[in-house]
Amino acid sequence: MATKNYVAELNEYAQRNRLKLKYEYLGSDGPDHNKVFSQKAIIDGKDYPKGVGKTKKDAKVKAAENALRCLLDGKCQDLTENAAEASTSAETDINFICWLNEYGQRNRLTIKPMETTRPGPNNAIPWCSFMVGEKEYPAVSGKTAREAKEEAAKLVYDIINGNKTTDEDAKDKNVGNGQNEMPTVSRFTSEFEPLEHLGKGAFGSVYKVKDKQLKIEYAVKIGCYKEKSLREVRTLSDLFHRNIVRYYTFWMQDTGYDESCGPTTKFLYIQMELCAKNTLRDWIDEKNKESVQNLKRREESLRIAQEIVCGVEYIHSRNHIHRDLKPANIMFGVEGEVKIGDFGLVTSDDDDEERTVCKGTPSYMAPEQRKYDRKVDMFALGLIFFELLWKLSTGSERAKIWPDVRRQRFPEEFSVTFTKEKQIINSLLSEKPEDRPDASAVKAELEEWTQIFNSHKASHQENQTV
Ligand code: ATP
Ligand code: MG
C-alpha cells in the first residue's frame, strides 16, 4: 500500500492558497544506529508541529502531515506541545555559522563576522557580532573567539526566525526575516498537474505530468541543482533523434516537489518527452520470466539492439559520451521505439576537466587515445545486447555468469545458439577500447545480420506452413 503523499498535498495546498511554504531541518537525535531526524513546515512564517522520522525524508513527510492536520482538521493542539519541547533540543545540533553562511548565499547578502575583544575582569574577552548585508546584529561574548562567533551566529538565527527580537529589529522588520518576500509560486505546480511518480534515481525523481493549458503529458525530472546537473540539460538540448528522449526545457526554482535539497540549494526541473513507464530493465525482466528462450525474443532483441546503437551512433557523432548506458536508462516511446535517457553522467569528447578527474592527466594523452574514450559506451552496449538475448532466470544465475561475460566468456549454449550475435558482443567486450568496434560498424553489422536472420525465419515459416 502506498503512503499518502503529504508533501505533495501540502505543496498543492500552499499553492492554491498562495501561502509561502518552506521546511526547516531541525537536526537529528539519538545514536548512529538509531538516529531520528526532525523537520518542520513553516507556512507564511508560522511554524507547524515538527515531524520526526528515521530519515530526513520521513521527517519531512511527517511534518507535512502534521501541518495538514492543523490546517485541515484543526488537530494542532496535541501535536504542538511535543513539538515545542523537541524542537528546542534539536536546535542544539544546528551549526549556526554554516546556517548563516547559507542564509547569506540564499539571500545574496554578505555575511561578515566582526570579531573583537573587550577587557574582562582577568583578561580580554572575545566578542563577535555579524553584519548581514547592511545590518549589524548584536554582539555576543564567549569563552573563546570561536564560541563568541557561534553564539553571535545563533543570535542572528534566533532573530531572523522570530525566536528573539531586539529593539532595532522590531523597528526594522525588512531585513532578514523574509516576511516581506513575495510568496513563491512554483512553476511546476502552476503549469503542470502532477499525475504519477515514475521513477527515482541518483539525481532525483521523475514525474508524469500534464500541462494544464496544452493538456499534453510530459515527464519532468526534478533534482537538486548543482553546476554539473546542467550538463544533462546542455547535452539533451544538443540532441534531437528518434532514439533519444526528447528534451523540451528546463528551469530552476527555490521550491522542490517532494524532495529536499538543503537550505541554499535550488531545484532543477527538466521537462522531457514522456516515455512508457516500463524501461528496458522491465522488458528484460519480463522476458526472463518466460518459460523458454524463444525466437520472438531474439527478433525483438535484434530490433532493440539496432535502435540503441542508432541512438549511440548519433550521441557519439555529436561528440558526447553517455557513460551510463544500462537497461534502466533505456526507455520506449509511443510506438515502442527505443529512447535513450538519463544523460546525467554524460561528458563531452574533449572535456579535459572530466578526464583529469577520472582518467589521469590529459596533457600527456596521445591524440589517438581520445577517440577511444567513447568506447566505454560500446562496452556497455555489449553487456546490454547479451542481457537482451540471454535468459537469466535468477539473480544468482546472473551473479554467476556476469563476471564471465564481462571477460568475454559466454555460456556454451549461448555461443552455439547466437553465433553471430556472440561475435558482435565479443568484439564489443574487448578489453582494449581500441579493439571495440564503433557504433557505426556495429550498426552496419547488426543491420546485415537482421536481414539474414529475418529471411531465414521467413523461409523457416514457409517450410512449416507448406
Ligand atoms: P540514475 O540513478 O540512473 O542516475 P537518475 O536520477 O539520473 O537515475 P533517470 O534515470 O533519468 O534518473 O530517471 C529515473 C527513472 O525515471 C528511469 O529509470 C525511468 O523509470 C523514469 N524516467 C526517466 N525519464 C523518463 C521519461 N522521460 N519518461 C518516463 N519515465 C522516465
Ligand atoms: Mg537513471
Burial class (CB in 10 A: 0-12, 13-18, 19+), 19: middle
Please indicate, yes or no, if residue 141 is contained in any of the structural domains: yes
Smallest-distance ligand from the CA of 206 = 1
Hey, what's the torsion of the CAs at 9, 12, 16, 22, to 10 degrees?
100
- Residue 130 within a domain: yes
Going by CA atoms, what residue is nearest to atom 1 of ligand 1? 201
Total domains present in the chain: 3
Look at residue 394 and tell me whether its pLDDT is greater than 90. Answer: no
Backbone angles phi, psi at 82, to 5 degrees: -60, -40
Within this chain, do residues 320 and 363 fall inside the same structural domain, yes or no?
A: yes
pLDDT tier, 327 (very low <50, low <70, confident <90, very high otherwise) = very high
DSSP symbol at 449: H
Residue 1 domain-assigned (yes or no): no
pTM of the model: 0.62
- Please choose from 329, 330, 339 the residue to mutate so as to test ligand 1's pocket, defined by most ligand atoms within 8 A of CB: 329
Last residue of a domain, one of 91, 121, 143: 91
3-state secondary structure of 237: helix
CB atoms within 10 A of CB 51: 25
Say whether both 194 and 255 belong to one domain: yes
Whether 371 and 259 map to the same domain: the answer is: no
Same structural domain, 254 and 171: yes
Same domain, 302 and 238: no
Could you tell me the three cell numbers for 211? 500541462
**Residue 436: closest CA among 444, 445, 427, 424:** 427
Same domain as 227, residue 108: yes
Q: How far is the CA of 229 from the centre of ligand 2 (A)?
A: 13
- pLDDT tens-digit series, residues 170-201: 334 333 333 333 445 789 998 999 999 998 87
- What pLDDT was estimated at residue 391? 93
Q: Name the residue of 192, 195, 198 whose CB sits within 8 Å of the most ligand 1 atoms, as the mutation to test its pocket.
A: 198
Strand, helix or coil for residue 417: helix
User: At 261, which CATH number?
Assistant: 3.30.200.20
Cα of 248 vs centre of ligand 2, distance in Å, is 18
- CA-wise closest residue to 446 among 334, 276, 312: 312
Domain end position, chosen among 60, 91, 122: 91
Instruction: List, for residues 66-112, the tens digit of each pLDDT value.
Output: 888 888 776 675 555 444 444 444 455 678 888 898 888 888 888 99
Q: Do 302 and 355 lie in a common domain?
A: yes
Q: Which atom of ligand 1 is nearest to the CA of 273?
A: 27
Shared domain check, 188 and 112: yes
pLDDT in tens, 328-350: 999 999 999 999 999 887 776 66
Counting from 1 in the atom list of ligand 1, the atom nearest the Cα of 339 is: 27
> How much distance in Å is there from the Cα of 329 to the middle of ligand 1?
6
Question: 225 φ, ψ to 5°?
Answer: -75, 125
Q: Which of 68, 91, 114 is the last residue of a domain?
A: 91
Ligand 1 and 328: CB distance under 6 A: yes
Range of the domain at 206: 98-273
Residues 109 and 228 in one domain: yes
Measured CA distances, 45 to 40, 78, 160, 170 (Å): 12, 21, 11, 16
CA dihedral 300, 301, 307, 311 (to 10 degrees): 150
**Are residue 260 and residue 380 in the same domain, yes or no?**
no
